Structure 1
Amino acid sequence: MTAWFFLFAAGFAEIIFVLSLKFSMGFTKLIPSLMTLVFGAGSFYLLTVAIKTLPLGTAYAVWTGMGLVGVAILGIVLFKESADVPRLISLVLVLAGIVGLKLTDISH
């Protein structure tokens, strides 16, 4: 269960990393630029801890899926990006895949 905690923490750090990247305005804003570096490195570190015991394919899929869904939802909320039905259905399918991968890895 600890590995899953690290993996989910890595996913959340990935979301903050990408949002900070957006707010850094091409690394021209100091605080968001520093946050990009810290959360990017933190996300990779937490992922490396998680993959010590979790299957690599599962961990990578969950990590990228969390980032994808989180950033897409925040893009809709914060940046008024499209929230059309096909996009929302696609996000639900990615989320279902993440849950499915977690449920099928009963050994961790």
Structure 2
Amino acid sequence: MLDRMKLKMTESLLDDFIKLFTDLNNNTRLTQNRGFTPNELSINRGGQDVINSISFGPNITAALKSGEVNIEGYRKGILMSELPKKVKMNMLRQLAQIEDRNITQKKGRQE
């Protein structure tokens, strides 16, 4: 996406952006949380992880399938993140499924 918008970011700038974006999301009051922020809900649950899973949306999935976004870069980011192990494994499984579909589609086109 950044390339499409002709924005250049170093890996450290991207890491800083992701941390700020995550902080913004975790401190934003949400209607679906009855006005609470994810951080407030986490505190109310005794510090338990609020996130059980994360699904890639259609835009990210399409970008990963098309090769517009590097799957390997995503994989590294997931592994280096501070997400709960269960969430990381779920996300890595999704990446593997997208990768498998890409390989299957490419093989089908070659035949």
Q: Which TM bucket (shorter chain)? A: 0.3 to 0.5
Write 1 or 2 for the structure with the bigger share of helix: 1
| Rg (Cα) greater in structure | 2
TM value normalised by structure 2 = 0.35
Structure with larger RCO (C-alpha < 8 A, sep 6+): 1
